[in-house]
Structure 1
Amino acid sequence: MNLLFTVLEKHTALLTKPVHLCPTMIQTHVLEKLLNHLLSSVIDEGELDFLEDQWIELKLLDCDLSYFLGYNSQAQRCLVQDKGAADASISCKLTDAILLITQQVDPDTLFFQRRLLLEGNTALSHGFKNILDTVELDQLGFPLSHGIQLLSRAFPQPQT
């Protein structure tokens, strides 16, 4: 197993400490801006309207991080909060999230291996998972997308 992957798996909480030190208002603001940028074409086409008046909790299980995502169709914007009541949740480890973001693993593979958990209104979480699966990493901009791709190459690929 790759050393970088081992370090990430064993020390995720330590590596995400800077996020925990950042005020949650800033975390949610940055995540909201990022989601609205990445999903702008999906928003323009009205494909997130199914999320109106619904909340999905995104959890990174090994990082003790959790965000609640919603959608306002009037403003055509994704909304992010640090607490709330979720209609559905999507949970995984940080390393699996990176593999998903870089599209190096199919979400269904992780789902059937119980490494990607969908709970609550599974139709809602499944629909949002499918939307996220259409996002192209290049939309993040070169430094961030290239860094994430390099990092993900250190991870072993899940067996299908």
Structure 2
Amino acid sequence: MKIAQWLVKLGDPLLPYGRHVPFALQRRLIELAAARLFAAPLAEGAFDLLQGRWLRLQVSDLGLAWCLSCEGTRLRVAQRAAVDVSIRGKWRDFVLLASRQEDPDTLFFRRRLVIEGDTDLGLGVKNLLDALDPDQLPPRAWRLMQAMGEAVR
């Protein structure tokens, strides 16, 4: 998929500007995308481990971070929260994780992704993401993510 290669190529110079996007817009985009991408898993309770708990995802090379929690069947995003666990890594490693181009245990073992805080919750989130069925995702989104993972590799 040529668009995926193009997106990855432009990622390094353009993605760092994401930190200048107002957080309210970032939150809105992430919450809308999560509602669409994870509609079935959210409805099935797959994200219940985040009910009343907060996860911080930090993309270290972009200077971006979001705090995520689950309320009912919705993922919520905050700029700051008293987080229970934090997962930190570079954007390319998160793409490899999301596209399943790299084994999550390998990314964590090699410290390319780092879990801090409640490691049981962090491992639960890692296992949740690993267990998500790509067939429940919108097909075009999954194909694009796979192609981006291949391009990153």
Q: Is the 8 A contact 1:38 1:135 kept in 2?
A: no
Say if 1:91 and 1:140 are closer, same or farther in 2 by CA, change over 3 A: farther
C-alpha RMSD over aligned residues: 2.3
Who is 2:137 aligned against? 139
Who is 2:28 aligned against? 29
* TM norm structure 2: 0.81
For residues 30 and 141 of structure 1, what CA distance do their matches in structure 2 show? 19
Ranges in structure 1 where 5+ consecutive residues have no aligned partner: none
**Out of 97, 100, 117, which is 1:120 matched to?**
117
- The one-character-per-residue Cα deviations of 1:67-121 (angstroms, maximum 9, x if unpaired) are 0000112xx2110112222110111111111111111011001111111111101
The letter for the 2-side match of 1:139 is L
Structure 1 or 2: more helix by fraction? 2
Q: Larger RCO: Structure 1 or Structure 2 (Cα < 8 Å, ≥ 6 residues apart)?
A: 2
Ranges in structure 2 where 5+ consecutive residues have no aligned partner: none
For residues 147 and 37 of structure 2, what CA distance do their matches in structure 1 show? 20
Aligned ranges for residues 49-64 of structure 1 at < 5 Å? Answer: 49-64=48-63
Percentage of pairs with the same residue: 32
Say if 1:147 and 1:47 are closer, same or farther in 2 by CA, change over 3 A: closer
The letter for the 2-side match of 1:109 is T
**Out of 67, 74, 90, which is 2:87 matched to?**
90
Say if 1:135 and 1:69 are closer, same or farther in 2 by CA, change over 3 A: farther
